[in-house]
Amino acid sequence: MMYDPHCGRRETGSIEVICGSMFSGKTEELIRRMKRAQFARQKVEIYKPAMDTRYSEDNIVSHDQNSIPSTPVESSGNILLLSGDMDVVGIDEAQFFDDGLPDVCNQLANQGVRVIVAGLDMDFKGKPFGPMPALCAIADDVTKVHAICVECGRLAGYSYRLGNDKKLVLLGEKEEYQPLCRECYNRHNH
């Protein structure tokens, strides 16, 4: 927990959410913020869903191959148990966590921890994804990042799934998804 020596009490924690479509730079921004906290000599820990082993078992890795060590966890409750005396907690791929994640983030922030969460705000069907809407609602700050539409070059906010797999969770990258703007996304889905 962060302690302010000038007034003799803990600083107020916060929740920051970084959201957007696939290939928009969410993980890249999370890594940037976490590395800045490390540079400031703060105690940091980053968590990711244990199911996400695309690039690494125990690192979060951006599509640009930047990485930072992380701890894979099975559920949001594990984050609370493992965070101990951290100053900053990062959480990647938040959309894959259970609905308890917003409560976990609130508890950490109320204990004086800066919580930085990154995740997809919408699934491939264009619907709010997992705990992300609730996280955006309770966040002190929300940063929405955008990819570039691969078809027209405008800002892209949608993750369009290539192929016909209808499972909600399909871990993938450029072979399975592409970023599209609203107009191009709607054209493909009608």
Using CA atoms, how far apart are residues 145 and 168, in angstroms rounded to an integer? 22
Sign, Cα dihedral of 22, 96, 55, 67: positive
Using CA atoms, how far apart are residues 83 and 102, in angstroms rounded to an integer? 15
Does the active-site annotation cover 93? yes
Q: Which of 16, 28, 93, 151 is labelled catalytic?
A: 93
In angstroms, how far apart are the furthest CA atoms of the chain?
Answer: 60
Q: Are 31 and 39 in contact (CB under 8 A)?
A: no
**Kind and range of the H or E element at 80?**
helix 76-82
Catalytic positions are 93
